[in-house]
Amino acid sequence: MQVLELIIFAGLAVIVLYQLYSVLGRRVGRQPEDRPAVETTSSAVRPPERATDAIDDGIELTGLAAIKSKDPAFDMNRFLAGAKGAYEMIVKAFAEGDKATLANLLAPNVLASFEAAIDQKAAEGRTETVEFFHAPRADLEKAEVNDGDLAHIAVRFLAEFRSRTKGPEGEGVEDRRTAELWTFERRLKSRDPNWILVHVDAAEA
């Protein structure tokens, strides 16, 4: 009888020991060896402490973002609408020899070039008027900010208009299609909201 009891107790002991091993020997949760080999932050890699780190670290803005940062009220659609109006006004004023209108819209170097052409036409006894078939197309070509707050915006214009001329040889009518790249300039911190034409280039149609 005692032998039978010993066998039973021995069997129970084996079962208990197995259950203890199955629980205590099991990996539960993160173990020390599961941690990364290096947890410290090196000087070359910074943790994302703030969402504004990129701005605070002095990343330079370019293009329209740079203009917007200096002049939050700037609106590209409004600018292009104004550029279209300026384009028509300048082309008509140049054709008609209206130097007073041009003086308010052109930089001195561009104004001098336009005035020289106007004076030459006058010396040759020629006059001209221009009539646009429809508003010109204006597309942003390039935008940049230099010298702190000096903004330049290059606009590509496609236009169709009719030119009527009179000269010593008589009258003439010519329909034209032009493609030009105009660069406008403005000091963004200035109270004057007007942009001035500083450069004119030919462009591909």
Same domain, 192 and 120: yes
Give mean pLDDT, residues 65-94. 96
Same domain, 23 and 97: no
Look up the domain containing 170 and give its range.
63-202
Q: How many CA atoms lie within 13 A of 162 on its CB side?
A: 6
Domain membership of residue 38 (yes or no) is no
pLDDT score for 57: 43
Residue-wise pLDDT for 168-186, tens only, equals: 999 999 999 999 999 999 9
Same domain, 121 and 183: yes
Residue-wise pLDDT for 84-115, tens only, equals: 999 999 999 999 999 999 999 999 999 999 99
For residue 43, pLDDT beyond 70: no
